[in-house]
Amino acid sequence: MTLVYHRDIIPLIHTPEPGRTTREHGTGGTFAMRLSQAFGKTLREQPAEVEMASHGLMLRAGLISKLASGIYSYLPLGWRSVRKIQDVMRKEMNAIGGQEINMPVVNPGDIWKESGRWDEIGPEMARFKDRSGRDMCLAMTHEESVTDLARRFIDSYRQLPCVVYHIQTKFRDEPRARGGLVRVREFTMKDAYSFHTDQADLDRYYPYMCTAYERICRTCGVPVVKVLSDVGMMGGSMAHEFIYLTDSGEDTLILCPECGYAANREVAMFNKTPEQESAPTGENQAPVEKVHTPGKDTIASVTGYLGVSPVLSIKTMAYFTQEDNRLVIALIRGDLDINERKLANFVGTSQVRLASPEELGAHGLVQGFMSPVGVGHLEVTVDDSISPEYSYVAGANEKDYHFVNVVPGRDFSLDSVADIAAARDGDLCPVCNAPLVQARGIEVGNTFMLGTRYSKSMGANFQGEDGALKPLVMGCYGMGVGRLLACIVEENRDEKGISWPITVAPYHVHLLSLGTGSQVIEIAENIYDKLGQLGVEVLYDDRDESAGVKFNDADLLGMPIRVTVSKRSLEAGGVEVKLRAGEESMIVPLDGFEDKISGLMRHEFSRFVPEG
RNA sequence: CGGGGAGUGGCGCAGUUUGGUAGCGCGCAUGGUUUGGGACCAUGAGGUCGCAGGUUCAAAUCCUGUCUCCCCGACCA
């Protein structure tokens, strides 16, 4: 009946040939599609711009098409997967109390000024003025909009906790888009926000969201690890990232294979106790002494020259802060490296950059021989690897000279000590002391305990049980739809093409007919109709192409179940059925064919859908 | 932002060094032969060589500028 309506209203674009079924558009075009009519096409060769496997496959399979750097269109097959991914997200969000809303892409600058991010965020936010000169921007994320909603509608603790989410377009003018859908400028993100009376309630809720994230990724066939992460531009107290491990990822993780400790390198901790323990220099500490160290301007060269371990040297670094261009000095044990992210967070800036040799000179600092001694007038941060129990070799801030017997606390201040060291492959786990390993990965999603970062600045308060007005305690939880799609393809593929998890495959079944024999066509059409009526999503390759082209396209497009109708299969007693992920094919008699397909579908779904 | 590379029919590329007005493969169209792993034959459509200036009798090719795309780096004293 849908069909009649459809045809009455819209003249057929494609007139069926005699002998073809009149079910040209299947059940309303939802469950079925003829490849001969599909918009888009497969590419035999990989476009030159491609670097990552998933990117090449998505272009070759006709899932996406690039409009500009980091800006993509989705073609019908890709969009079907996107919608399925979104539905997986909806299901899991709804299951933990989420209510779907939708917030605008275009924001007034005002709310971003209220939160303070109008000035904090740089050129990655696209800004413009409307016709009457008001500041506007494209939302990069929606904390401001959702906090505005919260302050309008949440008045009382009785309304808490509550969770809203939306799936919306965002724009970030990334300095460098790359990897197809992995890093783009315009993208779709599922964003959830939770509101709580206090931190304890957020603590209680947060694990539910983490579980939901793991379920989403599992359903989509993407293994992820949950790692501690930096709070970045979101602010707040604690954050995790859900990472798909792959060498082509752009995030660096530090993982402990023994106890499961996992963190983004930006925040990763480690046990800094050096392997060979030196005897503490203890009480009888000699006075600082200046020694001649000609040309020894690196830790390695100076410690080698003086015959001491780098562990007993101090590395002095000079940085400038992003916003106010403050000079900050960072001290760390000679065998370690500074983690600029940790340093920036500690000194309260969005980013630090290393001082240039000219800038060092302008501040009276000597490159290669910088010293912790005599910089007391500057802002100094000391890594907690440096111990007052020892005496160290350090620069003398004079060309070709170093100090020995430098004692922290005696010769320079230890007022400002923090962990600002970068964890590296092989460093020891902060929890269990096993060697850590470094890995690369793609950040699929993140979860933040925002706390009151936005509710305070934007005045989103509620009245507590005691009648007092308090700021809402918030959590926010993002997950990139397109990026997840890229990870799905990156993970579920082989040398021939994509091998979709059935949960997010554009179609369940790829039906193809070989040859032009009338019996073959008739049976294929019949199967197409029947499966469509059963709600099985069928992509039907009805093109007049050679067997090689059809099989190769089926492998490239990667639907989970392939059904081949041919003269040969009919002679063998039915149609050939093959799983994309498997090796063998089988002949299935037409009688009972539907049962066989639904059995295979159940089997395929069970591989990806978590229990419960 | 810094460094490197590339823009030539829809896609992949050659031609640029040594200026002489564009070619190959795939794809597309038409006809025919094929039909279980990217078939074959024939015919044909499609490009002001990213754009703008300049040099020259003549520019895809040389010069200048500009735009776009891709890759690498984001400086460890």
Looking at residue A276, what is its pLDDT?
60
Closest C1' nucleotide to A515's CA: B35
Q: Is A562 inside any structural domain?
A: yes
Distance A585 CA to B41 C1' (A): 35
Whether residues A458 and A540 share a domain: the answer is no
Residue-wise pLDDT for A489-499, tens only, equals 999 999 999 99
User: Residue A587: which domain range?
Assistant: 2-62+492-608
A65 closest CA partner among A88, A44, A42: A42
Chain B: nucleotides under 7 Å from a protein CB? 1, 11-13, 25-27, 34-39, 68-77
Q: Is A325 inside any structural domain?
A: yes
Closest C1' nucleotide to A299's CA: B77
Whether residues A506 and A574 share a domain: the answer is yes
Q: Is A425 inside any structural domain?
A: no
Looking at residue A284, what is its pLDDT?
58
Whether residues A109 and A250 share a domain: the answer is yes
CA distances from A358 to A38, A82, A341, A355, A364 (A): 61, 51, 24, 8, 10
Whether residues A8 and A80 share a domain: the answer is no
Whether residues A76 and A208 share a domain: the answer is yes
What is the C-alpha separation between A267 and A201, in angstroms, rounded? Answer: 25
The answer to whether the beta carbons of residues A309 and A303 sit under 8 Å apart is: yes
Closest C1' nucleotide to A516's CA: B35
Whether residues A87 and A34 share a domain: the answer is no
Residue-wise pLDDT for A48-100, tens only, equals 889 899 999 999 999 999 999 999 999 999 999 999 999 999 999 999 999 99
Query: How far is it between the farthest Cα atoms of chain A?
Result: 102
Q: Is A410 inside any structural domain?
A: yes
Residue-wise pLDDT for A182-229, tens only, equals 999 999 999 999 999 999 999 999 999 999 999 999 999 999 999 999
How many structural domains compose chain A? 3
A412 closest CA partner among A370, A442, A446, A441: A370
Q: Is A76 inside any structural domain?
A: yes
Whether residues A466 and A400 share a domain: the answer is no
- CATH code for position A577: 3.40.50.800
Q: Is A429 inside any structural domain?
A: no
Closest C1' nucleotide to A553's CA: B38
Distance A550 CA to B38 C1' (A): 8
Whether residues A114 and A238 share a domain: the answer is yes
Whether residues A243 and A200 share a domain: the answer is yes
Lowest mean pLDDT among A8-12, A249-253, A378-382, A595-599: A8-12
What is the C-alpha separation between A381 and A573, in angstroms, rounded? Answer: 78
Residue listed under structure tokens 């030196």: A278
Q: What is the mean pLDDT of chain A?
A: 90
Looking at residue A581, what is its pLDDT?
96
Whether residues A396 and A373 share a domain: the answer is yes
Distance A352 CA to B75 C1' (A): 12
What is the C-alpha separation between A396 and A374, in angstroms, rounded? Answer: 9
Residue-wise pLDDT for A117-176, tens only, equals 998 888 899 999 999 999 999 999 999 999 999 999 999 999 999 999 999 999 999 988
What is the C-alpha separation between A217 and A215, in angstroms, rounded? Answer: 5
Whether residues A105 and A252 share a domain: the answer is yes
A351 band by pLDDT with thresholds 50, 70 and 90? confident
Distance A565 CA to B30 C1' (A): 29
Residue-wise pLDDT for A447-465, tens only, equals 999 999 999 999 999 999 9
Mean pLDDT of A529-539: 92
Mean pLDDT of A22-29: 39
Looking at residue A235, what is its pLDDT?
63
Looking at residue A281, what is its pLDDT?
62
Whether residues A55 and A90 share a domain: the answer is no
Distance A50 CA to B51 C1' (A): 25
Q: Which residues are within 8 A (CB) of A511 and not within 5 positions of it... i.e. 6 or more apart?
A: A524, A527, A528, A531, A538, A539, A540, A541, A563, A565
Looking at residue A462, what is its pLDDT?
98
The answer to whether the beta carbons of residues A471 and A455 sit under 8 Å apart is: yes
